[in-house]
Amino acid sequence: MGSISLKNVKKSFGEVQIIPDISLDIKDGEFVVFVGPSGCGKSTLLRLIAGLEDTTAGTILLDGEDMTKAPPARRGLAMVFQSYALYPHMTVRDNIAFPLKMAKASKEEIDKKVEYAARTLNLSSYLDRRPRALSGGQRQRVAIGRAIVREPKAFLFDEPLSNLDAALRVNMRLEITELHQQLKTTMIYVTHDQVEAMTMADRIVVLNAGNVEQFGSPLDLYKKPANRFVAGFIGSPKMNFVDGPEAAKHNAHSIGVRPEHFKLSKTAEAGTWKGKVGVAEQLGSDTFLHVHVDGLGLMTIRTDGDQTFSHGDDVYLTPDQTRIYRFDAAGKAI
């Protein structure tokens, strides 16, 4: 079991309020990702759940039990740190066994669980090495191994992949997702990489300046962003926003169109926006065009990789009318 709920949780460091007021309900077995810009309080929120920081106000319930004041050791949660935080003086085996030793497990039980974790994570041949002698990906797996042996109520990950190179990151992403499917334990995962967020999460919490902007499934967030912040944050490349008379035509303060929701042509058509191609970023499968639209500014357009455009070409853009997002003056979706 591992449901986590936060009720009106607030956190200030001295005078500075980092988390004004957050309530969240995370269901047992769910994979929840916290995303948001740097400094928005993701780690702080995670550490509040872990018990590494005190809440200023509010309650934290784990499986319905009030754990607001409980020390981390008693909460039954496991955490994987960005820095891995392995014990440098212990072998891989001892690192993984440490939580079990703290729980006073028997020798046989420890051996059995360590072996099992090592097999699951492909660490069997490294068990007698020190963390120093491991690669970044291996270290991360040891950190995960240390987390899974204690069979926690939930796993907390704080940007666990951000120290790895791009290729390895993709691999580890898959491994963690697979691990979740295998264990079916609640996981909270902090990242500011929205690809990680979209691909791994059952539900995503978008945080901004300590507030929850939206909490929903990845596709919900993509299709029905609650506000302009979420709309701009989720999706890559970013959504294009237009204010002023063009938005007024749609009865909105501002409108947004995603780069992939444009029709593109080289010849003029009715109702289209005219522009000049600036930079064309060709990725092979896709091409991202940065188009200077007359009177509306720079827009990013996604097209397939087969069409070729070059700098200075005139292009005509037609936004998909069914996929225009409208926002009011406060940025709320309408």
Partner 1 sequence: MATAQTRTLSRIMMAPAVIVLLIWMIVPLVMTLWFSFQNYSLINPMMTGFAGWANYLYVIGDPSFTQSLVNTLILVGGVLAITVIGGTFLALLLDQPIWGQGILRIIVISPFFVMPPVAALIWKNGFMHPGYGMLGHLWKFFGLQPVDWFNQYPLFSVIVIVAWQWLPFATLILLTALQSLSEEQREAAEMDGANAINRFYYIILPHMARSITIVILIQTIFLLGIFAEIRVTTGGGPGYASTNIAFLVFRTGILSNDIGAGSAGGVVAVVIANVVAFFLMRAVGKNLDA
Partner 2 sequence: MARNVSVQTRIGFTIAAWAIALLLFSPILWVLLTAFKTEAEAIASSPTFFPQTFTLENFGAVQDRSDYFKHAFNSIVVSVGSTLLGLIIGIPAAWAMAFAPTKRTKDVLMWMLSTKMMPAVGVLIPIYLIFRDLRLLDTLQGLTIIMTLINLPIIIWMLYTYFKEIPVDILEAARMDGAELWNEIVHVLVPMAVPGIASTLLLNVILAWNEAFWTITLTSGRAGTLTAFISSFSSPQGLFLAKLSAASLLAIAPILLMGWFSQKQLVRGLTFGAVK
Ligand X SMILES: Nc1ncnc2c1ncn2[C@@H]1O[C@H](COP(=O)(O)OP(=O)(O)OP(=O)(O)O)[C@@H](O)[C@H]1O
**Is 88 a residue that touches partner 1 (CB under 8 A)?**
no
Sites for partner 1 among residues 56-75 (CB under 8 A): 69, 71
Nearest Cα to Cα of residue 170 among 199, 211, 141, 204 = 199
Establish if 278 lies at the interface with partner 2 (CB under 8 A): no
Q: Which is nearer to partner 2, 105 or 209 (CB)?
A: 105
Tell me the site size for partner 2, rule CB under 8 A.
23
* Stretch of 52-60, 110-118, 179-187, 270-278 contacting partner 1, by CB under 8 A: 52-60
Instruction: Determine if 54 is a binding residue for partner 1 (CB under 8 A).
Output: yes
Residue 71: CB minimum distance to ligand X, A: 18
Q: For residues 327 and 252, is the Cβ–Cβ distance under 8 A?
A: yes
Nearer to Mg ion, 33 or 291 (CB): 33
Least distance from ligand X to the Cβ atom of residue 245, Å: 37
Q: How far is the CB of 201 from ligand X (least distance, A)?
A: 17
How many other C-beta atoms can be found within 10 angstroms of the C-beta atom of residue 137?
A: 19
Cβ within 8 Å of residue 270, ≥6 positions away: none
Residues 217, 202: Cα–Cα separation, whole Å: 6
Q: Which two tokens stand for residue 104?
A: 């006073």
User: Cα–Cα distance between 158 and 270 in angstroms, integer?
Assistant: 50
Beta partners for 302? 288
Site string for ligand X, 119-138 (x = CB under 6 A): --------------------
| Integer angstrom CA distances of residue 18 from 10, 205, 211 | 8, 16, 9
Answer yes or no whether residue 87 interacts with partner 2 by CB under 8 A.
yes
Q: Does 44 bind Mg ion (CB under 5 A)?
A: no
Name which of residues 23 to 82 contact ligand X (CB under 6 A): 36, 38-44
Q: Is 78 in the site for partner 2 (CB under 8 A)?
A: yes
Look at residues 228, 239, 180, 183 and name the one whose alpha carbon lies nearest to residue 33.
180
Which residues within the stretch 127-156 sit at the binding site for partner 2 (CB under 8 A)? 146, 150
Choice between 80 and 242, CB closer to partner 2: 80
Told to check if 272 binds Mg ion by CB under 5 A, we report no
79 lies in the site for partner 2, by CB under 8 A: yes
Q: Does 51 bind partner 1 (CB under 8 A)?
A: yes
Residue reference for tokens 């420890």: 110
Would you give the binding string for partner 2 spanning residues 3-32, x where CB under 8 A is met?
------------------------------
240 lines the binding site for Mg ion (CB under 5 A) = no
Q: Which strands, in side-by-side order, build the sheet including 154-158? A: 77-80, 154-158, 186-190, 31-35, 203-208, 211-216
- On whether the CB atoms of residues 253 and 295 are closer than 8 A, the answer is no
Q: What span, in angstroms and rounded, lies between the C-alpha atoms of 55 and 22?
A: 11
Residues that bind Mg ion (CB under 5 A): 43
Summarize as ranges the residues that interact with ligand X (CB under 6 A).
Answer: 13, 18, 36, 38-44, 192
